[in-house]
């Protein structure tokens, strides 16, 4: 199975900051990586697919990059509504697996 490792597991940032979350796959997955946002008590929301393509309706402050084993989600100009937990997931092969999540908190 492909293991997905996210770092950091949590971070504190201020409104207006730019933050980066990394996701590493235990073997190459091409660009078959998605990112999701989840707020407390809510269902996840899809943000990015194919490592860098924005889902419809997702603001351009979210961006993704990477290929192979190393990926990054960058969030620019953090706003109160961006404070949430973010997950990566590969969909290269079965079983699909998620990273452990990164909680973005207000400093």
Partner 1 sequence: EVQLVESGGGLVQPGGSLRLSCAASGFTFSDHYMDWVRQAPGKGLEWIGRTRNKADHYTTEYAASVKGRFTVSRDNSKNSLFLQMNSLKTEDTAVYYCAKTLRFELHSYIDYWGQGTLVTVSS
Among 2, 13, 20, 96, binds partner 1 (CB under 8 A): 96
DSSP string, the chain: ---EEEE-SEEEE-TT--EEEEEEESS--TT-EEEEEE-TTS--EEEEETTTEEPTT--TTEEEEEETTEEEEEE-S--GGG-SEEEEEE-SSSSPEE---EEEEE-
Min. distance of Cβ 30 from partner 1 in angstroms?
Answer: 9
89: contact with partner 1 by CB under 8 A: yes
Among 24, 44, 52, 63, binds partner 1 (CB under 8 A): 44
Residues near partner 1 (CB under 8 A)? 1, 32, 34, 36, 38, 43-46, 49-50, 55, 87, 89, 91-92, 94-101
């Amino acid at each position: 199975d492909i293991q997905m490792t996210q770092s950091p597991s949590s971070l504190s940032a201020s409104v207006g900051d730019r933050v980066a979350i990394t996701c590493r796959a235990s073997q190459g997955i091409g660009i078959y990586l998605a990112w999701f946002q989840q707020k407390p008590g809510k269902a996840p929301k899809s943000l990015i697919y194919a490592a860098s393509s924005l889902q419809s309706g997702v603001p351009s402050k979210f961006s993704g990059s990477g290929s192979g084993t190393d990926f990054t989600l960058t969030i620019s100009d953090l706003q109160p509504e961006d404070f949430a937990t973010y997950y990566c997931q590969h969909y290269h092969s079965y079983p699909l697996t998620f990273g452990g999540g990164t909680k973005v908190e207000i400093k």
